[in-house]
Structure 1
Amino acid sequence: MTIAWLDCSAGASGDMMLGALVDAGVPLELVQAAVDALGTEPIRLHAKPVARHGLAGTKVDVEVPQTANDRRWRSIRAMLEAADLDEAARAIALGAFARLAAAEAAAHGIPEEEVHFHEVGALDSIADIVGAAAGLASLGITALTASTVTVGGGTTRGSHGSIPLPAPAVLRVLADAGAPVVGAVPYEACTPTGAAIVAAAASAYGPLPEMIVERVGVGAGGRDPQERANLLRLVIGREVAPPRRTGHAHRASTAEAAHGHDHHGDRAHGAEQAHHHGHGHHHGDAGHGHGPDSAHEHHHDAPHEHAPHDHPHTGPASDTLARQEGRPVVIETNVDDLDPRLWPAALAALLEAGASDAWLTPILMKKGRPAHTVHVLCRAEMVGAVRSALVRHTTTIGMRSYEIDKYALERRYAQVDVDGHAIGVKIALEHGEIVNASVEYEDAAAAAAALGRPLKVVVAQATALAAQEYPR
């Protein structure tokens, strides 16, 4: 399996990431094609060799026309969903912008749909994220680990004036991803764009994992500060296969597990055995429970659900499996002690983390305890981010996951105009024929508020216009 590690000791930015990918062998033409697929004004990428502190690297410059691009999150999302991109690249790009939207909404105290991206909404930053997503997806990496991220300190200038460093968006994005950070240098080392790409692509954080190195890409930032070489390194290699066990070792380990020995090696072997016998798609605890009997309950309620062997660098085994197969994944956990008022925010956080859908099922657990099963559907590439959001926003201490088959209709995005207010329309097609067209609720709600009309009236008007313009 191909694995990779990002050395973010000098920080991270969009141009550094593009430089590292091109330096590692990703064709600049592939990155350019992904940027062209956005259908925006002409954007041109240029790569050149540079040196930072005497070390060689590649600098990718993004040439954009002089236009004002102050975009909302929903317009960027629609643009990414409509673009002709590789699905893995689309997932990374959407995940990066979703994290930025959540961070900006928290920083400014506004709903995510109302977030206006200023610097990050500019064409060069959009190109950085989409180009980096396409480059990473092309490498076929099954697990990406990142080091501690140097974020820097001091102040910088933004569209709203002076901004403290690390920028609020950088801290929030990396905090939500569970990424370790350090200040270390008196300047902006990590940009919001760089933080979002790292958070969307990395499934774990730590030092260089054990691997057989095959290539290294070195990307350079625009500055050459005296404190350290302004370089981002992407180390790509093959995972080191574990040593094969002999039959005797297998019997001994199985016997020890049967007698309850709780050594790290035994747990890992048990997880391997579960995988080989067809149970490898279930991971984690069956659910969650606190109280004096919770440990006993977990031990006896799910005897066939083995804890995954968490490699300290590459993340849970199920992440690797999901990334290999590329199939959609459903993650589930039972929760019996979360304040019910927090569920709407928790479900919203899961969607922000990259989930395709998230929903609750009321259940009755043993001893008559009312609870909920939270189900999350996500792309394989988003498993790590979704698990992190589940842990951060609920009280679960474990979860299970399994791959599914999914049939999705072709989708297109358009707009209708209701008295001067644009309302998005999601169009579903089967074999090229329109079978459904639904209006975007948030757009309709905003139009209803602006026009002073009941929401149901605006929804009906927009639906009627959609039916006329996009008949079935």
Structure 2
Amino acid sequence: MSTTTADTHGVSRTLWIDPSAGVAGDMLLAALLDLGASLEAVRAAVDAVIPGEVAIAVDEVSRAGLRARHVEVTGTAADPTHRAWPEVRTLLRSEPPAALMVFERLAVAEAAVHGVAVEDVHFHEVGAWDAIADVVGVCAALEDLGVTAVTSGPVALGSGHVETAHGRLPVPAPAVLELARGRDVLPGGPGERATPTGMALLAALADPGPMPAMRVEATGVGAGTRDTPGQANVVRAVLGTTGSSPTETLWLLETNVDDLDPRVWSGVLEALLAAGAADAWLTPIVMKKGRPAHTLSVLAPEQARDTLRAAVFDLTPTLGVRESPVARTALERAWRTVPVDGGSVRIKVGLRGGRVVSATPEFDDADALARARAVPVRRVLDEATAAARAAGLYPTAPWIPDDQDVPAQGGPSS
């Protein structure tokens, strides 16, 4: 088993899940632990949500001749709790958004198949302590491994019937089929191959698709409880790196200026940005003889280097410009417009590995709308941030392109 750690140099860490023999929450958790996720981190995360309710044990097993890791989650209470969705939601509010996203998908699916309101959903096979442990454990393991993007192949669903708290149900279970909407599935042989918890984890966290191009770091194998002859009852997980965000070489043009009217600087910066600078800024400094001054810094693409150098000489009284090459690694970016009271605000979204890294309201849009509504601009910024989150634009959320999206070009703060 290989041990992995989160990368600190901008490399995107991608996980591909192979559920071609089926998927369950404990199987996926076992595969991530087999990859090298910390069992202590998983236990601590689960205990923070349902303290003292479960014990998590891990051992090595064989499934149809294939070595695998197996996780057993057991309740420690004499009478395990079966919780309703509102209670589970309250418990998960202290966790990263991923765990709450998974249970939201599960609650919506259960409500749809049983014809009840989401708030009235009671978790039996999937909610009590074991599903909470599986979901929180998987999310904690992904975080410990530093995973930034997850994809999953087709899921085997199985066939036949399964006994549940609602009676005998067909396989695939109704909630599983509800969660499988939009995904490729496989029949997968007799018996239950995909559980609602396993499908909810894939639906909320993994984009459907083949294994992406990547440098493989480690593989993990998580076992189900049954050992079925002829096909290993396992989930495989492959962890790899897909390279850093695109890096380009730019030129940093700098000069120290101590004899320019400070009122002029705003126009200088605007003119340099209009002339093609990737960014331009001022840094207050103290020069010889204690004179206050500014360092003008201009980030210039190669094709605009000569133009921007000439502009610095035209716009300031400097007698010289220093130049040095610099490397810039930039996130993929896009604009998306969200509605707020009285209008709309553009959100600048930073992306990496198919996930949202940042989502920032455009200040000029918020300022204009605040003036039109005669309210403080911070109120509009807060409303735009809330609208962006409601639209699925927050860190770690999967990026789902929209026909109205506009690519964002590099600019200030690049």
TM range (shorter): 0.5 to 0.7
1:291-302 equivalences under 5 Å are: none
What CA distance in whole angstroms lies between the structure 1 residues aligned with 2:120 and 2:49?
Answer: 22
Q: Distance in 2 between matches of 1:71 and 1:242?
A: 43
In structure 2, relative to structure 1, the CA distance for the partners of 1:400 and 1:106 (3 Å cut) is farther
Q: Deviations over 1:45-75 (max 9, x none)?
A: 1110001111111001112134242211111
Q: Is it true that 1:195 corresponds to 2:199 in the alignment?
A: yes
> What amino acid maps onto 1:210 in structure 2?
A
Quote the Cα distance in structure 2 between the aligned partners of 1:75 and 1:375. Answer: 21
Give the counterpart of 1:229 among 224, 228, 232. Answer: 232
Provide the residue aligned with 2:353 in structure 1: 320
For the residue of structure 1 that corresponds to 2:351, the secondary structure is helix
Partner of 1:96: 102
8 A Cα contact 1:329 1:377, kept in partner: no
Q: Distance in 1 between matches of 2:229 and 2:201?
A: 26
Q: Secondary structure at the match of 1:194?
A: helix
Distance 1:377 1:238, change over 3 A: closer
Alignment partners' CA distance in 1, 2:361 and 2:221: 36
User: CA offsets, 1:221-269, max 9 Å, x none?
Assistant: 00111241111111001115799999xxx99xxxxxxxxxxxxxxxxxx
- Report what 2:211 is aligned to: 208
What TM-score does the superposition give when structure 1 sets the normalisation length? 0.55
Q: Which of 31, 36, 40 is equivalent to 1:29?
A: 40
2:34 is the counterpart of 1:12: no
Match of 2:13 in 1: 2
How far, CA to CA, are the matches of 1:165 and 1:121 in structure 2? 19
Give aligned-pair identity as a percent.
38
Which residue number corresponds to residue 143 of structure 1?
A: 149
Write out aligned runs for 1:293-442 (5 A): 318-320=351-353, 322-323=355-356, 325=357, 327-328=358-359, 357-358=386-387, 376=391, 378-384=393-399, 387=400, 397-399=403-405
Q: What SS does the corresponding residue of 1:21 show, helix, strand or coil?
A: helix
Structure 1 CA distance for aligned equivalents of residues 329 and 146 of structure 2: 27
Q: 1:182 aligns with which of 144, 168, 186?
A: 186
1:35/1:375 CA distance change after superposition, 3 Å: closer
1:108 lines up with 2:114 in the alignment: yes
Shift of 1:151: 1.1
Corresponding residue SS for 2:110: helix
1:171 aligns with 2:162: no
Q: 1:77/1:50 Cα in 2 relative to 1: closer, same or farther (>3 Å)?
A: same
SS in 2 for 1:383: coil
Which residue in the other structure is 1:74 paired with? 86
Higher relative contact order (CA 8 A, sep 6+): 2
RMSD of aligned Cα (Å): 3.5
Matches within 5 A, 1:265-280: 280=332
Unmatched runs of 5 consecutive residues or more in structure 2:
1-11, 250-300, 303-327, 339-348, 363-384, 409-414
Letter in 1 for 2:81: N
After TM superposition, give the deviation of residue 183 of structure 1 in Å: 1.6
Sort the Cα spacing of 1:161 and 1:215 in 2 relative to 1 into closer, same or farther, 3 A. same
- The code of the aligned residue for 1:71 comes to R
Listed one character per residue, the Cα deviations across residues 249-306 of structure 1 (whole Å, up to 9, x for unaligned) are x99xxxxxxxxxxxxxxxxxxxxxxxx898942258x89xxxxxxxxxxxxxxxxxxx
Residue identity matched to 2:169? I
Q: What is the CA–CA distance in structure 2 between the aligned matches of 1:223 and 1:279, rounded to whole Å? A: 44
Q: State the structure with more CA Rg.
A: 2
Would you say the 8 A contact 2:176–2:196 is kept in 1? yes
- Pair 49,148 (structure 1): closer, same or farther in 2 beyond 3 Å: same
Name the structure where helix makes up a greater proportion of residues: 1
Unaligned runs of 5+ in 1: 252-275, 288-307, 309-316, 332-355, 360-373, 389-395, 403-472
Does the Cα contact within 8 Å between 1:69 and 1:118 map onto a contact in 2? Answer: no
Q: Which residue of 2 aligns with 1:415?
A: none
Bigger share in strand? 2
Residue 133 and residue 242 in structure 1: after superposition, are their counterparts in 2 closer, same or farther (change >3 A)? closer
- The CA distance in 2 between the partners of 1:233 and 1:218, in whole Å, is 5
Q: How far 1:28 sits from its partner (Å)?
A: 1.1
TM-superposition CA deviations, 1:298-339 (whole Å, max 9, x none): xxxxxxxxxx9xxxxxxxx9353755x4x34679xxxxxxxx
**AA partner of residue 49 (structure 2):** L
In 2, Cα distance between the equivalents of 1:154 and 1:383?
Answer: 34
Does the 8 A contact of 2:68 with 2:222 survive in 1? Answer: yes
Question: Aligned in 2, Cα 1:321/1:153: closer, same or farther, shift over 3 Å?
Answer: closer
2:14 and 2:353 in contact (8 A); partners too: no
In the aligned structure 1, how far is the partner of 2:236 from the partner of 2:120?
35
User: SS at the partner of 1:104?
Assistant: helix
Number of equivalences: 292
TM-score (norm 2): 0.63
- Asked whether the equivalents of residues 125 and 193 of structure 1 are also in contact (C-alpha less than 8 Å), the reply is yes
Measured against aligned partners, the alpha-carbon deviations of 1:332-362 in whole angstroms (never above 9, x if no partner) come to: xxxxxxxxxxxxxxxxxxxxxxxx9548xxx
Give the distance between the partners of 1:68 and 1:399, measured in 2 at CA. Answer: 47
- The CA distance in 2 between the partners of 1:206 and 1:117, in whole Å, is 30
Is contact 2:149-2:355 (8 Å) kept? no
| Residues 330 and 375 in structure 1, CA contact (< 8 A), matched pair in contact too | no
